[in-house]
Amino acid sequence: MKFLVFVAFLSTSLISTRLSAQSNKADTEGSTGASASNNLYMDVHHFGPGKVNYKAVSEAHARDLATEKKYGVHFINFWLDDANGTVYCLSSSPDTLSIHKTHAEAHGLLPDEIYQVSSGSEGSLINQKNFFLDVHEFGPGKVSAKDVAGAHQKDLATQQKHGVNIINYWLDEKDGRVVCLSQAPDSNAIIQNHKEAHGLIPAYVVQVKPGN
């Protein structure tokens, strides 16, 4: 059913005026935290391999941006895992319902998961085109903000050796999940950096195309 809705959305998009393509860079302005009245959230859409592309996600994101003010939401970034057909969205919002309402009105594509997160400190981009999200799943109650901040500092101390540039991380403390954004030659470089820095290997690493 979700796929049929998505096909309908693509057809509508072809009829409408084409939105200018977004550049393939991680512009993470404002992503270090939520506003005073909002929380920070990561919502995830699982479409499946071959069922979504960057142009379609960019257009859906543009519709979100046109609708977000109505519900007090601010969409900050998205990342597309092309191989698995998964979209990760970062936003500031009063609650999860406001995110659902924005997506529902904008294009009808509702997320499969939404989790509240806290953010690390933003790092700078380098001249490296490959972006990755690596995800650590520790479990509820098994990781704290202090733990993640300490591990992150260890990563920063070893990243140059492995050709990695860690941009930021987001912690879902309730479920014990950490999502890290970085630039690297390949996924193995990220794994080796984590292994040397603190030994905490991610559950999975995916290459992504960033948007904003």
Domain hosting 52: range is 2-6+23-118
- 9 vs 15: CA distance, rounded Å: 10
- 157 vs 145: CA distance, rounded Å: 19
52 shares its domain with 29 = yes
114 shares its domain with 132 = no
36 shares its domain with 106 = yes
Instruction: Indicate whether 17 pLDDT > 70.
Output: no
Q: What is the pLDDT of residues 41-54, one digit of tens each?
A: 999 999 999 999 99
Which residue is it, tokens 């290459």? Answer: 207
What is 99-136 written as a DSSP string? HHHHHHHHTS---SEEEEEEE-PPPPP-S---EEEEEE
Q: What is the pLDDT of residues 58-77, one digit of tens each?
A: 999 999 999 999 999 999 99
Token pair for residue 204? Answer: 């999975």
Q: What is the pLDDT of residues 128-172, one digit of tens each?
A: 789 999 999 999 999 999 999 999 999 999 999 999 999 999 999
164 shares its domain with 129 = yes
**What's 21's DSSP letter?**
P
Using alpha carbons, select from 37, 174, 195 the residue that is nearest to residue 116: 174
Confidence band for 37, pLDDT divided at 50, 70 and 90: confident
110 shares its domain with 171 = no
104 shares its domain with 138 = no
Confidence band for 22, pLDDT divided at 50, 70 and 90: very low
- In the three-class reduction of DSSP (H, G, I as helix; E, B as strand; rest coil), residue 60 is classed as helix
For residues 184-195, give the mean pLDDT. Answer: 98
Query: Side chain identity at 3, as an amino acid letter?
Result: F
Q: What is the dihedral of CA 121, 53, 5, 72, to 10 degrees?
A: 20
Instruction: Indicate whether 12 pLDDT > 60.
Output: no
What predicted TM-score, i.e. pTM, was given to this entire model?
0.82
Query: Side chain identity at 5, as an amino acid letter?
Result: V
- 7 vs 25: CA distance, rounded Å: 26
- In the three-class reduction of DSSP (H, G, I as helix; E, B as strand; rest coil), residue 84 is classed as coil
82 shares its domain with 127 = no
Q: What is the pLDDT of residues 91-124, one digit of tens each?
A: 999 999 999 999 999 999 999 999 999 999 999 9
- 43 vs 86: CA distance, rounded Å: 11
Confidence band for 127, pLDDT divided at 50, 70 and 90: confident
- Round the CA-based radius of gyration of the chain to a whole number and report it: 17
Q: What is the CATH number of the domain that holds 181?
A: 3.30.70.3090
112 shares its domain with 35 = yes
Task: Look at residues 100, 118, 136 and tell me which one is the last residue of a structural domain.
Answer: 118
Q: What is the pLDDT of residue 36?
A: 61
Q: How many domains does the chain have?
A: 2
102 shares its domain with 182 = no
96 shares its domain with 150 = no
- Which residues share a beta bridge with 208? 131
Task: Look at residues 118, 145, 174 and tell me which one is the last residue of a structural domain.
Answer: 118
Q: What is the pLDDT of residue 128?
A: 79
64 shares its domain with 125 = no
Answer yes or no: are the C-beta atoms of 176 and 138 closer than 8 Å.
yes
